[in-house]
Chains A and B, each alone.
Chain A
Amino acid sequence: MATEQALTPSEYITHHLTFNSKPIGDGSFWMLNYDSLIMSVILGVLVMGLIWWVARGATSGVPSKGQAFVELVFGFVDEQVKNIFHGDRHSFIAPTALTVFLWVLAMNAMDFLPVDVMHHFVYAPLGLEHWRSVPTSDINTTFALALAVWLLMIFFSIKVKGLGGWIHELFCAPFGSAKFFKPKSAMGFVGLILSPLLFVANFAFNIIEYVSKPLSHSLRLFGNMYAGEVIFLLIGLWAATGLTGTIFGAILGAGWSIFHILIVALQAFIFMMLTVVYLAMAHESH
């Protein structure tokens, strides 16, 4: 905390919440947050590499402790997917769920790294003025994941139902459509009036659903992780005020870390479950 004493509280927080972003082109979009990208790729390679290393030597006989642990995670994810998705889950959806769960869990868990210690002893000596350890507290990361899932959702929708079926569903679900191809009957006349209204309602409903899904998916994770980080920073601020503050800051920091274990795991689990639910819904016809 000694290095931060020259900063005001808002400067301290801003400093810790600034990304190491470099422009790679003109305009505000063409920026790259190196810290998010590098941390997430390192974690992804580490976690999935570890699992791959275990999976490569997996035996059907008596498993090693590492394999037993991996199988525990595997069984947990597989069980969740089995309950939601009733199809060939092993070809894509279950492995995707495993990837999402472990990767997001690892990225979330970076929240446990003490911000000031990491900055003082690791990032600053490496010459990194700004470096954020938690990729999931970057909206770009969570939105990238949600958007990828969203694209997969549309891909599977079209793959399962065909392009025509998907467009049909956009206009004719969830409220259904009136049959207006029988102009002679009285019901046919009602349908003639009603159907365009239903098309509009259905389409509006579907658009809202398609927009809200990735937003809620990504913002839930981002909000939780960002808020967790901010609270760590606030505790860090208090800890910088003197001996009393340091003692209480340490106690509070430990308490929040312990509670945060729950949030980290729970948010990773929720993110995985939503991914599975969205992909399973894309497989269902209405």
Chain B
Amino acid sequence: MNINFTLIAQAIAFAVLIWFTVKFVWPPLLKAIETRQKEIADGLAAAADGRNALDVAAKKSEVTLNEAKQKASEIIGQAEKRGSQIVEEAKTTAKVEGDRILAGAKAEIDQEVNRAKESLRSQVSALAIAGAEKILRKEIDGKVHSEMLSKLAAEL
């Protein structure tokens, strides 16, 4: 194990190998690995962004759903109110119409009664006159007393 010229030869070989590695081996490996690291980091960041966006969207949809539900219940309430209102109005209208019809009928009846009374009255007066005429034909002048009798009939 004596030291000889191999020492220098090996040192030169070593220097050449180091130079080769520094120049040609290390840089492309480093570049590839760093680029991949960056890509992976970007991918992870994108995934995190996506998760966040999903959370936001879920929250938003929940809010929208709640709003829709509220609106729907409002609309239903309004419809119910409107329906009962319509029923109420119909009732009132029917009552008014009924009253009106009733009043019309009553008036007609009154009219009918009055007319009957009128004709009855005239017939009774005519009958009374006729009776009185038959009774009084002999003793009373028809012409004189008919005036008095029609006065009497008008008073009935």
Interchain CB contact (< 8 A) of B25 among A52, A135, A138 = A52
Contact of B6 among A33, A67, A90 (CB under 8 A): A33
What is A's interface to B at a CB cutoff of 8 Å? 21, 24-25, 28-33, 36-37, 40-41, 44, 48, 51-52, 55-56, 58-61, 63, 67, 70-71, 74-75, 90-92, 94-96, 98-99, 103, 135, 138-141, 143-145, 147-148, 226
CB-CB under 8 A from A138, the residues of chain B are 1, 6
Interface residue ranges of B27-47 to A (CB < 8 Å):
27-33, 35-36, 39
Expressed in whole angstroms, the Cα–Cα distance for A243 and B35 within the complex equals 60
**A58 adjacent to B14 (CB under 8 Å):** no
User: Per a CB cutoff under 8 Å, which of B5, B7, B13, B26 touches A98?
Assistant: B26
A56-B28, A74-B29 known; A37-B35 Cβ under 8 A: no
Q: Check B18–A96 contact: CB distance below 8 A.
A: yes
B25 touches A31 (CB 8 A): no
- Say yes or no: A143-B31 contact (C-beta < 8 A), given A60-B36, A90-B26, A96-B21: no
A213 to B41, CA, bound (A): 42
Judging by beta carbons under 8 Å apart, are B2 and A28 in contact?
Answer: yes
Is B22 an interface residue, CB under 8 A from the partner? yes
B7–A143 touching, CB < 8 Å: yes
Q: If A95-B25, A96-B21 touch, does A144 touch B6 (CB 8 Å cutoff)?
A: yes
Evaluate contact between B30 and A90: CB separation under 8 angstroms.
Answer: yes
Q: Are B25 and A75 in contact (CB under 8 A)?
A: no
How far is A11 from B129 in the complex, measured between Cα atoms in Å?
A: 189
Cα A40 to Cα B31 with chains together (Å): 29
8 A-B residue pairs with Cβ-Cβ distance under 8 Å, sorted by A, are: A37-B10, A52-B24, A55-B29, A74-B29, A91-B22, A95-B26, A99-B18, A145-B10
Which chain B residues lie closer than 8 Å to A29 at the CB level?
A: 3-5
Contact of B22 among A25, A95, A143 (CB under 8 A): A95
With A32-B4, A71-B33 given, is the CB distance from A37 to B14 under 8 Å? no
* Contact (Cβ within 8 A) B25 A148: no
Q: Are B17 and A103 in contact (CB under 8 A)?
A: yes
- Inter-chain contact A98/B25, CB cutoff 8 Å: yes
- Chain A residues, Cβ within 8 Å of B27: 90
Q: Could you tell me if B3 and A58 are in contact, using CB atoms closer than 8 angstroms?
A: no
B57 within 8 Å of A (CB atoms): no
Which of B8, B22, B35 has its CB near the most chain A CB atoms (within 10 A)? B22
CA distance A226 to B22 in the complex (A): 30
Contact between B22 and A96, CB atoms less than 8 A apart: yes
B9 interfacial contact with A, CB 8 Å = yes
User: Shortest CB–CB separation between residue B146 and chain A, in angstroms?
Assistant: 138
Nearest Cβ in chain B — how far from A108, in angstroms? 15
Chain A residue at smallest Cβ distance from B22: A95
Q: Which 5 A-B pairs have the closest CB atoms?
A: A60-B35, A144-B10, A140-B6, A58-B32, A95-B26
- Asked if B11 is at the interface of the complex by the 8 Å CB criterion, the answer is yes
Q: Does B15 contact A (CB under 8 A)?
A: yes
Contact of A58 among B15, B17, B28 (CB under 8 A): B28
B6 and A48 form a contact (CB under 8 A): no
Instruction: Give the complex CA separation of A56 and B28 in angstroms.
Output: 6
Are the CB atoms of B8 and A144 closer together than 8 Å? Answer: yes
CB < 8 Å neighbour of B28 from A25, A48, A55, A145: A55
Chain A residues whose CB sits within 8 angstroms of the CB of B32 once the complex forms: 55, 58-60, 63, 67, 71
Query: Nearest Cβ distance between residue B31 and chain A, in whole angstroms?
Result: 7
Neighbouring B residues of A40 by C-beta, 8 Å: 10, 13
Which residues does chain A contribute within 8 Å of B33, judged by CB atoms?
60, 71, 74-75
Q: Are A55 and B24 in contact (CB under 8 A)?
A: yes
When distances are taken between beta carbons in the complex, the residues of chain A under 8 Å from B14 are: 99, 103, 144-145, 148
Cα of A29 to Cα of B4 in the assembled complex, Å: 4
